[in-house]
Structure 1
Amino acid sequence: MIHPQAIVEPGAKLAEDVEVGPWSYIGADVEIGAGTCIGPHVVIKGPTVIGEGNRIFQFASVGEECQDKKYNGEPTRLVIGDRNVIREGCTIHRGTIQDEGITRIGSDNLLMAYVHVAHDCVVGDHCILANSTALAGHVKLGDYAILGGFTAVHQFCQIGPHVMCGAGTVVLKDIPAYVMANGNTAEPHGINMEGLRRRGFSPESLRTLRQAYKIIYRKNLTVAEALPQLQQMAATDPAVQPLIDSLSNSTRGIIR
């Protein structure tokens, strides 16, 4: 399953059925789970742990040292879950000791061509990052988030679950859960209704989330003023809780 023109360093741990294409390089501190397919011309360095059933396409660079000038060769890590698709030319860097020392990518994500995930990012599950999207360091991306092509996210920003960003969006502040955003710089454009319908949210929850959005964005309230009203809504509809969590955890302020 390993092409004779691939280089797998001693110490790398690959499940028996892992495929490695020609001219790919697997470093000594790399662990790859069952059913994962590594294409040609891929570089994977470590310490990196990659789960099961992933597909990594040609010219991807996974687990390389980060581009943070404070990085000084510390043995930081990259951890990738299961069933991810990492397309051509993607770059995913390990963490730094200035954070938790780990870059994390969950499961069932699609990273299209030329996506960049910088040091210390945390990407949830079922996310789609379209072509040439770039996450700066320390970004957190919630489950089911979709970022259109050429989206650029500033360091330390948090993007909540079920968010959708249009192509070319520049994100300089946090985006609350469920919100659609677009523009340079990003502005809110309502709740991601169609995405939530596809994921099985009930009509009642959709109405509640629309009301919650109006509380945040239509009543000229601060986040602190809006939270008590949202908490009352969450008592009867748990779908509001991720929105509350994303507002409460915001460190850069939310898009307006």
Structure 2
Amino acid sequence: MTSASADRPGAAVRVSGARKSFGGREVLGGVDFSIGRGEVVSLIGPSGAGKSTMLRCLTLLDTLDQGSISYGDLVVCSGDDGARYDRAAMRAARMRFGLVFQDYNLFPHRTVLQNVMDAPVVVQGRDRMEVESQARELIATLDLAEHADKVPCQLSGGQQQRVAIARALCMNPDVMYFDEATSALDPRLTKDMHDLIRQLADKGMAVGIVTHEMGFAQTVSDRVCLLFDGQIVEDGSPEQLLEHPRDERSRIFLSLSAD
């Protein structure tokens, strides 16, 4: 089943006909997917449905076997008979998205400030003074100013997550991806994450979330896509999809998730 979202104009990221197999098993079976500027889209589904593979392909940590990926007007790969990747476009695309990993992936021997500044200086080649000014502003915005000179092991899990967010935002991306954004957060921090994501969207950023948390997806998202057996079987508003699913597989999955 294809998704109408792939036809939306002004998409910050667009995937069409995405196919990916591992060891002869098809994990993605022709997925169409997009996120518009200023839109929050959550990708949900049972374990093994292909969510992590979709995220890895979107962030170029893995490659498609077939299909296309575009970031705005930048075509990263295309091809119905095999995805052909443009290396220059891949390098450029990596400047257009940020990713907050589930386990944060901070450099353990570097301070909060150094973690946030590293990629903009080393990868983007930006001026160190300009980057430090932006990094300190982001750190303060995320209530981390007093921790700027600490290393990750001196921080709580929630604080480490905020460092990872600041690091991603310091790259000035068009698209932000969150992998299980609230899996280790208490209710107060979950609300903070909700508010932050909505603020990013209000500023025109596209936000993609992979999550098992149905309640969080329902409250934070503009759209929810349900991936099942490597295909998007539902794509709609949180109210429509989570409260009135059309596909029988969706109804079964959501009923089990609510138990």
Is the shorter-chain TM-score for this pair beyond 0.5, marking a shared fold? Answer: no
Give the TM-score, by structure 1 length.
Answer: 0.29
TM-score (norm 2): 0.29
Bigger radius of gyration: 1
Higher helix share: 2
Return the structure number with greater relative CO, CA threshold 8 A, min gap 6.
2
